[in-house]
């Protein structure tokens, strides 16, 4: 954050009265308001930040801007013409650190300070004004088409964040990070200025009175920056407008994208700067603005002089004169910001009184005095300064003098419970004389009186009141123990109030503590008032865009507690950025199953744990030492750090060598005394521990709190609430380090809950001069910011990832398959959606739970398709709505016309009837009345019929709803075997039948989804069996309920079979069982082992497992069965080729020598049927009898189909031919109830060329 005075770009542009886009330049204070010019040295031709003389020609008069740099307004098209180098470093080749820095330098020389590094925008501080922020450029990025090609710009990043917030309804945050002086404050201001006008625009806010509240909120959000910068920024060695506090802004937007409010959160103001600055640095801006820019009357009312040398807190910075800061002009801007934020004139004066009081308090000096008892006291040297401070704050000089030069403490045990009312720690032994040491009594002498023990009766009324109020604050319930007059001279030590004189140095330290407390609490009060002015007035759910402008990483010659806290915050921020851009993205790719090569980067998590780890971290040790109190706290803290953190590779002190150093070194002389060194992500920093414990305690003495609370100044009672004597608790507040640690933790959690956008600011040189680019400095920043690693990860990964459900919900209108609703799985829906889009598949990748999109252009194309489709849908909705409205209007007009025509006809008939009646002609009026009555009766009948139809229609609809509701709660079981179904009315029978079929298909689908691969194969076999045998084979129904097990003899576990199957390539057994082979001559049953593999059919000896026959599946061309209950199946074999004689002999010899272990060696390449004993002889078809005939035929059917590519013929008939080798035999199946044939058995008879099977 500390980058306001060192901008990342510079031209000041006035867009409209509520909008001030101020480019980051060497100046920084805030946005321009109306005719105010913010820190831009301009000629008289400049109005509202734009040169009036050159508005028509887009040329500046050339007289504004420090260092002679002109700020020309470049048209949008000129942006493309000025591109040099590689704007998007994803296209940089080769992608190395040196090439990246060289590309930055090449663009920097042409004033192109923005470069895209994947998802990160790199901004190089130009230290001058640039024409990058004109109104034309704003409109170009604000109204750009989705698929437009504009160069990298901070407007593009801000527009993307605002677009995601508005269109995707996702909370966003913009994180600006970098070193101190790299331009972070200006970058954050530009983002804020852009997003506040990205909704309805400035012109709408001026013309439409309804947008006046939005205009007011917009102005207040923009003016809050200059106000907080005036009170929280200062000039440092690194930066002329360094933010000495952290700032996070949550801007809330309505559904249109217009800002409706905001909340500022500040982090740890560097209040020590109020009383002490390093050489060459300045105090906070507001002091110089007030002395330089206030008018004479205001200065007189504040008792101030313009000469800065008159104030001790400002003298070290008096010689500093900077071209980038105009305190006089900035003061007017600060006053204007106070008015815009709703501060009244009286509030402004009271604020400046507190600021003036801080300056005046710094001039109060103390002269040492010696008390009678030999102790040291002090007196105020310049009473006139004290009286002026009391006049500003509205307090008694005696009370303020007493609070500054004395300290009231409790000596002895506390009367109440220590847990409820902790007493303040006793002062160090050198704190001065003790006055009024009586049991519960205390007294104070007048100014100038020699210090001594004064009787309590001689105390002034003011001192007495102070003691009583302190007693009440300490909650001593028994005033008898703390009475002011102890005339009996009792020396009870139950709880003594002691007034101790302070030495001159201690009084000076007390004065500095009061000054720092006054200023820091005033700053916190200002932040609270700004939040009250910008708070959302209406309740409701809104989306938030956060802007983080935090301290920049700092390394000075002397680094103290403030630098330690600032760098710790930067460590946490670097950890969060690295987690988001590097670690989480790589983990997501691996988690989703995307092929990924890890990219290494520096992980600073050990450094963060070293600082914030509970009980063992640096902050924990500091808190323990702060609670312990006593003298020598800083030295004790350093010693405990060496003992606790000395083993870390990232920590070293003088007495603890580095982790990598040899263990025999006595000490680390590179570290100065009373210092410790941390290895941060951005470099090694040495911190001096002096003042660490006191700054971490951050306590204000009760005397000062009481004195401030009793002041008549209206703000001080709010700034010092602990000084109220009626307060019932004095609970010890958390230390400054602990509070900051909690705040940073909450901030990191807040950032992680939003979609981040990162701006990495680069400082090109240490001189804060334009046109200077130090390669070593920039390369160091590029390295520790992990920019090259970020580009590598982004280049190898995907630009966008989203869950399938979210992706389908956003883009489902782009496909007719998914619109208007999709009932299947989200993955399948996303696949259908992308199939219907004119996008190539390499641009997408499907993970386990998320879909990945390769490039930003593809995402833009999807959004463009969605926008066009939404326009079409909107036109469709408008068309239907307008048609409906026109139809309703037509019906209303038609009904009105009917009523008017009916009434007119009635009136006409009445007139005709009346006229003819008076003329003596036939009275037509009577006929009219009869006709009218009949018409009314007919109309009434039609209305009754219409009513009956309406009632009937609603009744039928009600019956249908009742049926569907009853069906919803009484659906039958999800088992496919269940045949139950609720009864339905006769009119709903067709609907019920259709729903029953749909429900049955649905539960069958669910039933199938539960199957694993084995169950799916079995179901496939069952379905195949149903196709083959249903209504064709009488024994088929018996097999439906029995699962197909396949291996009934557990052949797969047989050791001998494992050896055989390797030789025959029959490892995968589909079926194995002992069945009967029917002999061809006599029809007898011969038991065999039948094996069916995925490639062949084998017949083995059931005892020795010797292969008798092996038939390849491709040689079986027909399967024949009878339609009866028999279990006979005939497998028809093709006529195979004769094997060569040598192969036959080899096969026979092998069989004779090897037995039955390997009968197919020597004939394994033969085609057709293979036999063990006679290889060349044709054996013909096989006839089997088995109880698993349905299973065998089904499995063989599938095996043949897989081997050949087409299913074999299945012949189910009572008669068919079979080839028995030398002859063809007619098999005939007869179903006869013969007494010699038992039920379920068969009898086979062979008569010549005919074989009869009796069932």
- Residue-wise pLDDT tens digits, 897-909: 999 998 888 787 7
- Residue-wise pLDDT tens digits, 277-318: 888 889 999 999 999 999 999 999 999 998 888 999 998 766
Respond yes or no on whether the N-terminal peptide bond of residue 94 is cis (omega within 30° of 0).
Answer: yes
- Residue-wise pLDDT tens digits, 607-635: 999 998 888 889 999 888 888 876 777 88
pLDDT at 451 over 90: no
> Tell me, what's the pLDDT at 1099?
93
Residue predicted with more confidence, 501 or 927? 501
Provide the CB-side half-sphere exposure for 147 (13 A, CA): 9
Q: Which of 54-58, 461-465, 626-630, 1245-1249 has the lowest mean pLDDT?
A: 54-58
> Tell me, what's the pLDDT at 462?
44
Q: How far apart are CA 122 and CA 124, in angstroms?
A: 7
pLDDT at 1124 over 50: yes
Mean of all residue pLDDT scores within the chain? 79
- Please report which confidence band the pLDDT of residue 1145 belongs to, taking 50, 70 and 90 as the band edges: very low
> Tell me, what's the pLDDT at 1240?
54
Q: Which of 25-34, 333-342, 1111-1120 has the lowest mean pLDDT?
A: 25-34
> Tell me, what's the pLDDT at 1097?
92
> Tell me, what's the pLDDT at 119?
84
Q: Which of 279-288, 486-495, 742-751, 1058-1067 has the lowest mean pLDDT?
A: 486-495
Average confidence (pLDDT) over 28-55: 33
Strands of the sheet with 755-762, listed across from one edge:
114-117, 120-124, 755-762, 172-178, 543-549, 246-253, 259-267
Q: How far apart are CA 148 and CA 599, in angstroms?
A: 31
Q: How far apart are CA 1095 and CA 1086, in angstroms?
A: 25
Q: Which residues have CB under 8 Å from 1078's CB, separation 6+?
A: 1084, 1085, 1086, 1128, 1183, 1184, 1185, 1244
pLDDT at 5 over 50: no
Provide the CB-side half-sphere exposure for 1246 (13 A, CA): 13
Average confidence (pLDDT) over 837-844: 86
Q: Which residues have CB under 8 Å from 917's CB, separation 6+?
A: 923, 925
Nearest residue to 618 (alpha-carbon basis) of 596, 636, 638: 638
Contact 777, 764 (CB under 8 A): yes
Q: How many CB atoms lie within 10 A of CB 1025?
A: 22
Residue predicted with more confidence, 825 or 462? 825
Write the DSSP string, 13-55.
EEEETTEEEE---S--S----TT---S----TTEETTEESTTT
Q: Name the token pair of 443.
A: 């007294």
Average confidence (pLDDT) over 153-176: 91
> Tell me, what's the pLDDT at 815?
92
pLDDT at 707 over 60: yes
Q: How far apart are CA 140 and CA 153, in angstroms?
A: 11
Q: How many CB atoms lie within 10 A of CB 34?
A: 12
pLDDT at 757 over 90: yes
Residue predicted with more confidence, 487 or 758? 758
pLDDT at 25 over 50: no
> Tell me, what's the pLDDT at 204?
44
- Please report which confidence band the pLDDT of residue 1205 belongs to, taking 50, 70 and 90 as the band edges: confident
Please state, for a pLDDT cut of 90, what percent of the chain lies above it.
35
Contact 453, 462 (CB under 8 A): no
> Tell me, what's the pLDDT at 320?
54
Average confidence (pLDDT) over 180-201: 85
Q: Which of 13-17, 376-380, 1065-1069 has the lowest mean pLDDT?
A: 13-17
> Tell me, what's the pLDDT at 46?
33
Q: How far apart are CA 805 and CA 833, in angstroms?
A: 12
> Tell me, what's the pLDDT at 466?
47
How big is the CA angle at 637 (ends 632 and 639), to the nearest 5 degrees? 100
Residue predicted with more confidence, 1247 or 1101? 1101
> Tell me, what's the pLDDT at 439?
34
> Tell me, what's the pLDDT at 207?
59
> Tell me, what's the pLDDT at 187?
93
pLDDT at 1152 over 80: no
What predicted TM-score, i.e. pTM, was given to this entire model?
0.64
> Tell me, what's the pLDDT at 346?
93
Residue predicted with more confidence, 333 or 318? 333
> Tell me, what's the pLDDT at 82?
57
> Tell me, what's the pLDDT at 482?
36
> Tell me, what's the pLDDT at 417?
35
Q: How far apart are CA 313 and CA 275, in angstroms?
A: 6
Average confidence (pLDDT) over 939-962: 92
> Tell me, what's the pLDDT at 934?
86
Q: Distance between alpha carbon 555 and the CA centroid of its chain, in Å?
A: 32
pLDDT at 924 over 70: no
Residue predicted with more confidence, 886 or 595? 886
- Please report which confidence band the pLDDT of residue 1018 belongs to, taking 50, 70 and 90 as the band edges: confident
- DSSP symbol at 89: G
Q: How far apart are CA 689 and CA 642, in angstroms?
A: 12
- Beta-strand ranges (E) seen in 692-820 are 755-762, 800-803
Contact 289, 230 (CB under 8 A): yes
């Amino acid at each position: 954050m500390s980058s306001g005075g060192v901008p990342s770009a510079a031209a000041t542009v006035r867009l409209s009265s509520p909008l001030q886009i101020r480019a980051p330049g060497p100046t920084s204070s805030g946005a321009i308001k109306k005719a105010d010019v913010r820190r831009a040295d301009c000629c008289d031709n400049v109005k509202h930040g734009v040169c009036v003389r050159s508005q028509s020609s887009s040329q500046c008069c050339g007289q504004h801007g420090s260092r002679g740099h002109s700020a020309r307004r470049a048209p949008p098209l000129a942006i493309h013409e000025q591109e040099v180098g590689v704007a998007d470093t994803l296209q940089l080749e080769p992608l190395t650190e040196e090439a990246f820095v060289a590309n930055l330098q090449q663009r920097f020389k042409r004033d192109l300070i923005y470069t895209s590094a994947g998802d990160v925008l790199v901004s190089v501080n130009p230290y001058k004004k640039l024409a990058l922020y004109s109104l034309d450029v704003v409109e170009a990025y604000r109204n750009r088409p989705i698929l437009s090609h504009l160069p990298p710009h901070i407007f593009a990043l801000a527009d993307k964040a605002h677009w995601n917030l508005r269109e995707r309804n996702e909370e966003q945050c913009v994180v600006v990070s970098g070193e101190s002086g790299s331009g972070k404050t200006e970058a954050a201001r530009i983002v804020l200025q852009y997003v506040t006008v990205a909704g309805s625009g400035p012109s709408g806010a001026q013309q439409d009175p309804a947008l006046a509240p939005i205009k007011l909120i917009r102005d207040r959000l923009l003016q809050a920056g200059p106000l907080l910068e005036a009170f929280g920024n200062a000039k440092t060695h690194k930066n002329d407008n360094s933010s000495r506090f952290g700032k996070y802004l949550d801007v809330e937007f309505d559904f249109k994208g217009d800002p409706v409010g905001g909340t500022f959160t500040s982090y740890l103001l560097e209040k020590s700067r109020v009383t002490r600055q390093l050489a060459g640095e300045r105090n906070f801006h507001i002091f110089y603005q007030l002395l330089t820019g206030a008018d004479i009357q205001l200065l007189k009312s504040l008792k101030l002089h313009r000469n800065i040398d008159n104030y001790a807190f400002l003298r070290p910075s008096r010689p500093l004169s900077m071209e980038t800061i105009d305190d006089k002009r900035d003061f007017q801007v600060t006053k204007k910001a106070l008015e815009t934020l709703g501060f009244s004139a009286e509030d402004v004066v009271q604020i400046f009184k507190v600021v003036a009081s801080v300056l005046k308090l710094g001039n109060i000096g103390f002269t040492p005095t010696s008390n009678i008892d030999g102790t040291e006291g002090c007196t105020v040297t310049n009473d006139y300064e004290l009286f002026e401070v009391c006049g500003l704050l509205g307090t008694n000089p005696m009370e303020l003098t007493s609070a500054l030069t004395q300290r009231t403490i409790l000596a002895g045990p506390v009367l109440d419970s220590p847990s409820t009312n902790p007493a303040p720690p006793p002062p160090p032994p050198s704190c001065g004389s003790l006055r009024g040491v009586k049991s519960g009594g205390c007294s104070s002498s007048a100014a100038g009186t020699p210090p001594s023990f004064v009787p309590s009766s001689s105390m002034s009324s003011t001192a007495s009141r102070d003691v009583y109020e302190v007693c009440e604050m300490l909650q001593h319930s028994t005033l008898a123990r703390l009475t002011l007059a102890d005339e009996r001279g009792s020396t009870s030590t139950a709880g003594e109030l002691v007034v101790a004189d302070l030495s001159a140095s201690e009084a000076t330290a007390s004065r500095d503590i009061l000054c720092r407390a006054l200023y820091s609490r005033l700053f916190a009060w200002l932040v609270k008032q700004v939040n009250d002015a910008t708070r959302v007035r209406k309740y409701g759910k809104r989306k938030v865009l956060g802007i983080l402008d935090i301290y920049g990483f700092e390394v000075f010659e002397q680094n103290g507690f403030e630098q330690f806290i600032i760098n710790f915050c930067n460590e946490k921020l670097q950890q969060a950025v690295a987690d988001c851009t590097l670690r989480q993205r790589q983990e997501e790719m691996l988690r989703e199953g995307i092929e990924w090569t890890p990219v290494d980067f520096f992980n600073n998590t050990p450094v963060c744990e070293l600082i914030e780890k509970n009980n063992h971290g640096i902050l924990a040790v500091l808190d323990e030492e702060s609670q312990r109190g006593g003298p020598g706290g800083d030295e004790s803290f350093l010693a405990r750090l060496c003992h606790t953190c000395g083993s870390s590779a990232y920590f070293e002190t003088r007495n603890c060598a580095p982790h990598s150093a040899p263990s025999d070194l006595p000490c680390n002389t590179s570290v100065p005394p009373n210092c410790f060194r941390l290895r941060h992500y951005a470099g090694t920093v040495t911190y001096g521990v002096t003042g660490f414990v006191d700054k971490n305690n951050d306590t204000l003495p009760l005397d000062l709190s009481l004195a401030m609370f009793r002041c008549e100044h209206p703000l001080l009672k709010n700034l010092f609430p602990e000084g109220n004597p009626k307060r019932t608790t004095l609970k010890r507040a958390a230390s400054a380090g602990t509070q900051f640690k909690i705040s940073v933790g909450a901030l990191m959690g807040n950032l992680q809950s939003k979609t981040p956008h990162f701006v990495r600011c680069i400082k090109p040189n240490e001189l804060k001069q334009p046109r200077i680019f130090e390669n070593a400095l920039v390369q160091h920043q590029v390295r520790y910011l992990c920019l090259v690693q970020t580009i590598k990860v982004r280049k190898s990964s995907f630009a966008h990832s989203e869950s399938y459900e979210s992706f389908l919900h956003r883009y489902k209108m782009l496909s007719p398959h998914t619109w208007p609703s999709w009932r299947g799985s989200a993955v399948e829906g996303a696949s259908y959606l992308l199939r219907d889009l004119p996008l190539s598949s390499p641009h997408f990748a499907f993970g386990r739970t998320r879909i990945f999109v390769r490039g930003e252009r593809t995402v833009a194309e999807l959004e463009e398709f969605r926008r066009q489709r939404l326009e079409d849908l909107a036109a469709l909705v408008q068309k239907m709505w307008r048609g409906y409205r026109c139809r309703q209007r037509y019906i209303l007009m038609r009904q009105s016309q009917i009523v008017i025509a009916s009434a007119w006809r009635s009136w006409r008939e009445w007139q005709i009837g009346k006229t003819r009646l008076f003329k003596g002609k036939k009275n037509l009026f009577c006929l009219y009345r009869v006709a009218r009555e009949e018409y009314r009766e007919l109309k009434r009948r039609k209305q009754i019929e219409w009513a009956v139809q309406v009632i009937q229609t609603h009744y039928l609809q009600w019956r249908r709803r009742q049926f569907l509701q009853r069906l919803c709660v009484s659906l039958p079981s999800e088992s496919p075997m269940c045949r139950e179904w609720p009864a339905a009315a006769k009119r709903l029978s067709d609907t019920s039948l259709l729903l029953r079929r749909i429900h049955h298909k649905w539960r069958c689908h669910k039933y199938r989804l539960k199957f694993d691969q084995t169950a799916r194969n079995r179901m496939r076999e069952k379905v195949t069996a149903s196709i083959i045998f249903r209504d064709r084979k009488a024994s088929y129904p018996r097999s439906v309920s029995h699962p197909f097990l396949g291996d009934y003899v557990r052949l797969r576990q047989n050791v001998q079979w494992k050896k055989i199957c390797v030789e025959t390539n029959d490892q995968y057994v589909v079926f194995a069982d002992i069945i009967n082979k029917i002999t061809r001559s006599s029809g007898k049953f011969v038991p065999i082992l039948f094996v069916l593999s995925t490639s062949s059919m084998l017949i083995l000896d059931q005892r020795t497992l010797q292969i008798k026959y092996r038939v390849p599946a491709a040689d079986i061309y027909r399967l024949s069965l009878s339609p009866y209950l028999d279990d006979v199946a005939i497998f028809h074999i093709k006529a195979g080729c004769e094997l060569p004689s040598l192969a036959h002999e080899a096969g026979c010899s092998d069989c004779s020598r090897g037995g039955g272990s390997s009968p197919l060696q020597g004939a394994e390449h033969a085609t057709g049927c293979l036999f063990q004993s006679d290889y060349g002889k044709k054996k013909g078809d096989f006839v089997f009898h088995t109880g698993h005939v349905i299973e065998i035929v089904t499995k063989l059917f599938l095996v043949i189909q897989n081997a050949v590519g087409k299913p074999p013929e299945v012949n189910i008939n009572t008669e068919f031919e079979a080839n028995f080798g030398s002859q063809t035999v007619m098999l005939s199946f007869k179903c006869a109830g013969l007494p010699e044939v038992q039920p379920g058995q068969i009898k086979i008879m062979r008569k010549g060329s005919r074989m009869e099977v009796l069932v």
